Structure 1
Amino acid sequence: MCDYYFDGKGKAFRPMIVVLMARACNIHHNNSREVQASQRSVAIIAEMIHTASLVHDDVIDDANSRRGKMTVNQIWGERKAVLAGDFILSAASVALARIGNTAIISVLTQVIEDLVRGEFLQLGCKENENERFAHYLEKTFKKTASLIANSCKAVSILGCPDPKVHEIAYQYGKNVGIAFQLIDDVLDFTSCADHLGKPTAADLKLGLATGPVLFACQQFPEMNAMIMRRFSKPGDVERARKYVLQNIIKCSGYLLALKLPPVTGRGKRQEGG
């Protein structure tokens, strides 16, 4: 069950960022291009924590597909899926202990706490419209960006003694993580299921108001009521998706007016505007 997601077909985005940060810090500190074994372990642990969170999220969301194939919970059931996620976390904890650095243990265990707190934040919804985006960004940081930020910080601690570098590494990971999730939330509306590897508009169906929904709400105030009832009435999901897409098209029009090529995929822009 644990091998199921570790099939080599994922993007490996998180461990790649962590390894690149490790190399950058090592070059900065002593001009070494070699990545330490302990730094590679941090990259492995980051992917394990991420994968465990996917297994648990799929149970919470009752998801039936992930990375283009059936989820663990659909094949083996929810109880075994929860235990599989726990087992991956326990293996990550063992690998973390083997690094033998208390500072690294402290930094990476913060990620697990943030993941749980982020899940609780996702279950809530702010009535005050002005607080919603801050709530969304906090949830995004805890569920997505904290892992990248703290993993980057961990490899910087292992590669360079300068606290300023540790903070730079953390902030870099934080901003990349938030940006990654913002784009992922847009793709939930603009991409097909085959491209995403999971159903589209999945967050709306779960009652979640992500960034694109909150931006669209500024143009279509009638969405406020739908957000508060978590898109639970018949037709809410379809109407909200329509409003979001209209808002995205409008924003793309602004980009064209500025003669900037619009974003068409994860980080790719059309040639020729």
Structure 2
Amino acid sequence: MDKATLKDIEDIRAQLVSLCNRDTISIQLEAQGKLLRPCVAHACAKAIAPELLNDDPLWFAILAVQSVHEASLLHDDIIDEAETRRGKPTLVAKAGIPTALVMGDHLLTASYHLLSQCDNIALFSCFSRAVEQTVVGEIKQARSADKEITIQQYMDMITDKTGALFGFAMGIPALLQRREDADEWIALGEWLGRLYQMLDDILDYCPQAGTGKPPFQDYIQHKPTWPWLLQETPNWQASTKELHTQWFGQQAHAQRCLDFFEEECDAFQRQCKEKLGDTHTHFVALV
């Protein structure tokens, strides 16, 4: 990641922290969060509506999408009984389920309060749909446990589970300006969200990825993800040791996964270039 992008991230973090410190907003964000969704919204604003960067509504919407994302992480940790995230103890591990549940609910409800201050019905409606889609995606994932779903079913699931909030984030500038092409920006953001989830899913099969999470957790919990679905004979009976041997002892499967992911990334970059021209590099840097 180049210096300009890193500076943008720190500027975004500082802006959100400043917003959180206002008397009317009682949100405390995760200090080490990657801020991917805020970065998407910020990059889109820089590309198509830089004048919004000095306006409160953009930052209220950006803080809202980060807030609801962090709420979803807290609820994920409760469901998964996760003890660590990004290499550090989760709130569930430190304070217990009741505290984590209430904090997640607080972040979720606060996000709607933030959006209400933007005075934009289309923006609020899109946000509500994105939150609902995220929950639907989680339900689909829970129902898919122990099953061998199709790649298309997996793509539909992650479009809801992860793509929806990315879509909203990329659509924020267009929605604030009431542009007719807002749906196109939302669709592009959903695509970026799918790529991010695909990357996250393949890193689960890479013990040396340095994600701060134990490897093979999706497999252990019988969550069907695309690297597992692309196997010639997917099954839940193999030990993690056997799975490791298959991944790193048989290069054909690893190469098949790499090719599949690169094709998706290339298609996204082409779409970005078509939509954004020379400014598409703002988003390519996020892939």
Q: Give TM-score scaled by structure 2 length.
A: 0.73
8 A contact 1:145–1:176 mirrored in 2: yes
- Secondary structure of the structure 1 residue equivalent to 2:144: coil
1:243 aligns with 2:246: yes
How many residue pairs get aligned? The number is 237
1:186 aligns with 2:189: no
Equivalences for 1:105-184 in 2 at 5 Å? 105-125=124-144, 132-159=150-177, 161-164=178-181, 166-184=182-200
Q: Which amino acid aligns with 1:90?
A: T
8 A contact 1:42–1:96 mirrored in 2: yes
8 A contact 2:87–2:212 mirrored in 1: yes
- Alignment identity in percent? 24
In 2, the alpha carbon distance for the partners of 1:125 and 1:255 equals: 21
Post-superposition shift, 1:190?
Answer: 1.4
Paired residue for 1:19? 42
Q: Which amino acid aligns with 2:71?
A: A
- Secondary structure of the structure 2 residue equivalent to 1:200: coil
Paired residue for 1:211? 226
Paired residue for 1:76? 95
Q: 1:196 to 1:255 in 2, by over 3 A?
A: closer
- Give structure 2 stretches of 5+ with no counterpart: 1-26, 266-283
Q: Which amino acid aligns with 1:10?
A: G
1:6 aligns with 2:24: no
Paired residue for 2:70? 51
Paired residue for 1:271? none
1:93 aligns with 2:96: no
In 2, the alpha carbon distance for the partners of 1:46 and 1:255 equals: 31
Post-superposition shift, 1:75?
Answer: 0.8
Post-superposition shift, 1:242?
Answer: 3.7
Q: Which amino acid aligns with 1:140?
A: I
Q: Give TM-score scaled by structure 1 length.
A: 0.77
In 1, the alpha carbon distance for the partners of 2:225 and 2:254 equals: 19
8 A contact 2:58–2:173 mirrored in 1: yes
- Secondary structure of the structure 2 residue equivalent to 1:190: coil
Aligned-residue RMSD, C-alpha: 2.9
Paired residue for 1:42? 61
In 2, the alpha carbon distance for the partners of 1:135 and 1:256 equals: 20
In 1, the alpha carbon distance for the partners of 2:258 and 2:137 equals: 36
Post-superposition shift, 1:241?
Answer: 4.5
Q: 1:252 to 1:239 in 2, by over 3 A?
A: closer
Q: 1:21 to 1:183 in 2, by over 3 A?
A: same
